């Protein structure tokens, strides 16, 4: 079920075109990756989704409607720049934000307790935000974004600045919310998170969508151009195989770039003829590579 | 509407709980309580005992006359102590000096020899004391000597009692104010009360607008610099946020002012203070009720006009450090209004003051001052209130527009041109 749809949305600030006719659609129970270099237009897109900014052109549909009367209840937002009242107790400000979202106090209280417990920080209920560590503040910020069970959740760099344990904790929470049917619009610079979480992505570059679609399908469209090879002893003459572009010796063996997939089999037989092959893999392109390719070799921002 | 109330109560609650607010309220409250009791405190610390001043016996008899003069008074400021003659003036002085050193005497009044030879001449004096600022002792002595001198001269001239009384009775001038309306003008004490009251209210208005305005601006900037704003604008429309904050701070201000006024009034209506006031012919119930009503009206109008401006300025600044500079122009505007108001207290009928009292940023201070000091026709008051209401609507609309744009702009404080451009592109 479609939760969010952008149709040919454009936004201009003065003479600067921040978002250029962007279209995308996010389903319930889906994490949609909105990717792009800094200044590509991600934040502007998110602000339009949250109705903080109005698009100059195009139309946004929330649950199929071009305007939604209680958007503040429908959407949740974790901004890239963290922001909480430093001198106010955790419980007070979360309950305040819940109240602004139109949630009853008892519901908010229950929900807050649930999340604090889940993040193992129940003892912070009565503490001021400035007394918490950065990672814990981020958990509180996350709770502020989801306290009212939004159907559309916008996460801008949700996991930055967290240690690996806490990243897992938050990632699991995002996955849970997805499984409960939340539509998540997710932005990050960490491509491994995209691979792990997102089913569909859109890469923005200089205000335009340069690549869009299902992550698996996109990967299949990209040729498999990398071979990873691990052998018992060194292999001679890998460079001379037809179609090989570059051979790199690594600690684990060889990292080989090829022009087309056919060369892979020749590499394998060459290696097998000389020594024992421990590992051989024709790798699909990583999200990192796809991103760099999409955004282009040209030096950008 | 719910969100507006939520923002209001959140602003109010957090300010009420903040240490800074509690501390300032307590300190200012104490200061007011002390100030109200100042006459009593001064009285308690100043001794009832008259200051003792020494004089050497002398054939002119002046020392005895002076002593008698002060003894006749019901509550004399000075008691004359007559010292025995030691032969020479230098020895007399040395003796007095010892007494002064030991604290027995406050000072020593010595007859000077300068014009003693002349017939009928009243002698001149030298006053010796440790202090350099004994003005009150000196003036008491001067008054006493003047009276004695007068009596002596009158005796010599042989005037009758009636003639003396006619000569010494003071000249009297009474002030009655002429007003446009047919009713009687205000009496002198009413004008004094109005003057004191308007003066006090001007200070309160000025302080309140400046203080609470700053509070609004710094809260907005703090929300921006701590980036809570990012979350807030996705939940509440900026306009509701801004007005919620202004209303919340307004209620806070009224609560604080109410506390101060209650402390002041409670202090003033204590029996001993009331007696002191009525001794000065001042009575709290003489204050016209309408003046209080106008105070509240102009307080609210001024608060909302300046509040919107302060909020708008707060919204375009991203760092608290830059706020003071950005607020400078508006602070100067309030200061200007305040000083014109103080000046106007002494010339409330000046044409140019009437003219600038319609300038909305000055109206709360100046029109209020005019109402207190003179009696401007009702249409003038009404007109100024209408102008203020219109300006509040206009400023509120403009401030909301700036606010909506400003809260999203970070980094360097935008120039007007950039702000204008951004304002046109948001919504």
User: Residues B137-146: pLDDT tens digits?
Assistant: 788 888 888 8
Residue pointed to by tokens 């024709």: A282
Is pLDDT above 60 for B115?
no
Q: E strands along B12-161, which residues?
A: 51-56, 78-83, 107-111, 125-129
Is pLDDT above 90 for A174?
yes
Which pLDDT band holds residue B344 (cuts at 50, 70, 90)? confident
pLDDT (0 to 100) of residue A116: 93
> Closest residue of A to B229, CA-based?
A83
pLDDT (0 to 100) of residue B412: 57
- Which residue from B312, B241, B317 is spatially nearest to B10, judged by alpha carbons? B241
Residues A133-142: what's their mean pLDDT? Answer: 89
- Which residue from A293, A298, A244 is spatially nearest to A271, judged by alpha carbons? A244
- Whole-number percent of chain B with pLDDT over 90: 12
pLDDT (0 to 100) of residue A301: 40
Distance (Å, whole) CA B279 – CA B36: 15
- Which residue from A209, A72, A47, A246 is spatially nearest to A145, judged by alpha carbons? A72
Is pLDDT above 60 for A155?
yes
All residues of chain A having their beta carbon less than 8 Å from the beta carbon of residue B3 are 72, 100, 102
- Residue A261 phi/psi, 5° resolution? -65, -25
Q: Which residue has the higher pLDDT, B49 or A128?
A: A128
Q: Which residues of A touch B (CB under 8 A)?
A: 12-14, 47, 50-54, 56, 72, 75, 77, 79, 81-88, 92, 96-97, 99-102, 141, 144-145
The answer to whether the Cβ–Cβ distance between B230 and A79 falls below 8 Å is yes
Is pLDDT above 80 for B301?
yes
Residues A225-233: what's their mean pLDDT? Answer: 84
The residue among A50, A99, A153, A158 with the most chain B CBs within 10 A of its CB, best to mutate, is: A99
The answer to whether the Cβ–Cβ distance between A85 and B226 falls below 8 Å is yes
Residue A198 to chain B, least CA–CA distance (Å): 24
Q: Which residue has the higher pLDDT, B296 or B187?
A: B296
Which pLDDT band holds residue A232 (cuts at 50, 70, 90)? confident
Helical H segments across B169-288, by residue range:
188-225, 228-233, 238-268, 271-279
CA–chain centroid gap for B17, Å, is 30
Query: Average pLDDT over chain B, rounded to whole?
Result: 81
Interface of B with A in 398-427 (CB under 8 A): 408, 421-422, 425-427
**Cβ contacts of residue B236 below 8 Å, gap of 6+?**
A72, A100, B3, B6, B7, B244
Whether A76 and A154 have beta carbons less than 8 Å apart is answered as yes
- Which residue from A24, A19, A34 is spatially nearest to A3, judged by alpha carbons? A24
Distance (Å, whole) CA A155 – CA A34: 10
Give the distance between the most distant pair of CA atoms in chain B.
101
The residue among B9, B230, B401, B407 with the most chain A CBs within 10 A of its CB, best to mutate, is: B230
Option in B230, B235, B408 nearest A72 (CB): B235
The answer to whether the Cβ–Cβ distance between A72 and B421 falls below 8 Å is no
Residue A145 to chain B, least CA–CA distance (Å): 8
Tally C-beta pairs within 8 A across A and B: 68
pTM of the model: 0.74
Q: Which residue has the higher pLDDT, B123 or A110?
A: A110
The answer to whether the Cβ–Cβ distance between A86 and B408 falls below 8 Å is no
Q: Which residue has the higher pLDDT, B214 or B288?
A: B214
The answer to whether the Cβ–Cβ distance between A14 and B3 falls below 8 Å is no
**Tokens in use for B418?**
């950039």
- Whole-number percent of chain A with pLDDT over 70: 98
Distance (Å, whole) CA B105 – CA B137: 12
Q: First CA to last CA across chain A, in angstroms?
A: 36
All residues of chain B having their beta carbon less than 8 Å from the beta carbon of residue A85 are 14, 223, 226, 228
Residues A26-49: what's their mean pLDDT? Answer: 88
| ipTM over cut 0.90 | no
Is pLDDT above 90 for A177?
yes
Is pLDDT above 80 for B57?
no
Residue A219 to chain B, least CA–CA distance (Å): 35
Mean pLDDT check: name the lowest of A154-158, B17-21, B44-48, B307-311. B44-48
pLDDT (0 to 100) of residue B427: 46
Which pLDDT band holds residue B172 (cuts at 50, 70, 90)? confident
Mean pLDDT check: name the lowest of B77-91, B150-164, B281-295. B281-295
Separation in Å, CA B47 to CA A146, B42, B51, B183: 71, 10, 9, 48
Residue pointed to by tokens 């002390």: B34
- Which residue from A272, A274, A279, A222 is spatially nearest to A255, judged by alpha carbons? A279
The answer to whether the Cβ–Cβ distance between A100 and B236 falls below 8 Å is yes
> Closest residue of A to B5, CA-based?
A100
Residues A223-234: what's their mean pLDDT? Answer: 82
Interface of B with A in 221-250 (CB under 8 A): 223, 226-236
Helical H segments across A119-248, by residue range:
134-146, 164-179, 191-197, 215-221
Residue B244 to chain A, least CA–CA distance (Å): 12
The answer to whether the Cβ–Cβ distance between B425 and A87 falls below 8 Å is no
């Amino acid at each position: 079920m479609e939760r969010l749809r952008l149709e040919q949305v454009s936004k201009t600030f003065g003479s600067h075109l921040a978002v250029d006719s962007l279209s995308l659609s996010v389903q319930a129970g889906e994490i949609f990756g909105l990717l792009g270099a800094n200044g590509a237009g991600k934040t502007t897109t998110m602000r339009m989704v949250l109705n903080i900014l109005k698009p100059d052109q195009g139309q946004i549909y929330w649950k199929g409607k071009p305007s939604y009367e209680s958007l503040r209840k429908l959407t949740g937002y974790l901004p890239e720049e963290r922001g909480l009242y430093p001198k106010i107790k955790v419980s007070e400000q979360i309950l305040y934000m819940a109240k602004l979202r139109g949630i009853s106090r008892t519901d908010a209280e229950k929900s807050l307790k649930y999340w604090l417990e889940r993040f193992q920080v129940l003892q912070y209920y009565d503490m001021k935000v400035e007394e918490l560590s950065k990672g814990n503040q981020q958990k509180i910020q996350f709770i502020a974004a989801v306290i009212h069970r939004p159907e559309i959740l916008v996460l801008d760099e949700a996991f930055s600045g967290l240690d690996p344990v806490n990243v897992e904790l938050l990632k699991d929470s995002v996955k849970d919310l997805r499984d409960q049917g939340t539509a998540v619009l997710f932005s990050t610079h960490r491509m491994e998170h995209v691979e792990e979480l997102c089913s569909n992505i859109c890469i923005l570059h200089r205000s335009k969508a340069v690549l869009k679609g299902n992550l698996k399908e996109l990967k299949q469209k990209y040729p498999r151009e990398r071979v990873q090879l691990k052998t018992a002893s060194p292999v001679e003459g890998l460079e001379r195989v037809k179609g090989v572009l570059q051979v790199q010796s690594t600690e684990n063996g060889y990292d080989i770039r090829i022009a087309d997939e056919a060369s892979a089999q020749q590499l394998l037989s060459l290696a097998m003829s000389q020594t024992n092959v421990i590992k051989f893999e024709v790798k699909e392109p990583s999200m990192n590579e796809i991103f760099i390719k999409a955004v282009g070799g040209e030096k950008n921002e | 509407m719910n969100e507006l109330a939520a923002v209001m109560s959140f602003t109010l609650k957090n300010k009420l709980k903040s240490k800074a607010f509690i501390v300032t309220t307590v300190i200012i409250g104490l200061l007011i309580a002390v100030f109200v009791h100042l006459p009593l405190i001064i009285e308690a610390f100043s001794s009832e005992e008259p200051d003792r001043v020494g004089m050497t016996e002398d054939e002119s008899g002046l020392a005895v006359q002076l002593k008698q003069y002060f003894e006749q008074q019901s509550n004399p400021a000075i008691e004359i102590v007559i010292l025995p003659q030691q032969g020479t003036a230098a020895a007399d002085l040395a003796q007095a000096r010892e007494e002064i050193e030991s604290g027995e005497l406050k000072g020593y009044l010595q007859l000077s020899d300068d014009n003693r030879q002349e017939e009928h001449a009243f002698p001149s004096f030298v006053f010796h004391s440790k202090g350099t600022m004994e003005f009150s002792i000196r003036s008491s002595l001067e008054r006493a000597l003047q009276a004695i001198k007068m009596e002596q001269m009158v005796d010599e001239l042989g005037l009758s009692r009636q003639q003396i009384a006619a000569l010494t009775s003071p000249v009297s001038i009474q002030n009655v104010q002429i007003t446009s309306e047919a009713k009687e003008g205000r009496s002198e004490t009413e004008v004094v009360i109005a003057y004191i009251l308007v003066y006090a209210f001007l200070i309160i208005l000025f302080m309140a607008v400046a203080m609470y305005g700053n509070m609004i601006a710094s809260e907005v900037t703090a929300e921006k610099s701590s980036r809570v704003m990012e979350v807030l604008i996705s939940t509440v429309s900026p306009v509701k946020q801004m007005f919620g904050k202004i209303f919340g701070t307004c209620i806070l201000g009224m609560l604080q002012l109410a506390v101060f006024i209650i402390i002041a009034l409670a202090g003033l209506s204590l029996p001993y203070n009331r007696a002191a006031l009525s001794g000065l012919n001042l009575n709290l119930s003489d204050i016209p009720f309408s003046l209080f009503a106008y105070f509240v009206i102009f307080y609210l109008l001024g608060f909302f006009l300046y509040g919107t401006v302060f909020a708008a300025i707060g919204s375009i600044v991203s760092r608290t450090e830059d706020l003071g500079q950005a607020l400078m122009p508006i602070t100067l505007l309030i200061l200007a209004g305040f000083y014109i108001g103080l000046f106007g207290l002494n010339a409330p009928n000046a044409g140019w003051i009437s003219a600038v009292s319609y300038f909305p940023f000055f109206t709360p201070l100046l029109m209020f001052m005019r109402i207190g000091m003179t009696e401007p026709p009702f249409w003038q008051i009404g007109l100024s209130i209408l102008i203020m209401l219109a300006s509040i609507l206009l400023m509120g609309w403009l401030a909301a527009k700036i606010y909506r744009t400003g809260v999203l702009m970070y980094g360097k404080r935008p120039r007007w041109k950039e702000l204008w451009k951004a304002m046109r592109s948001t919504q």
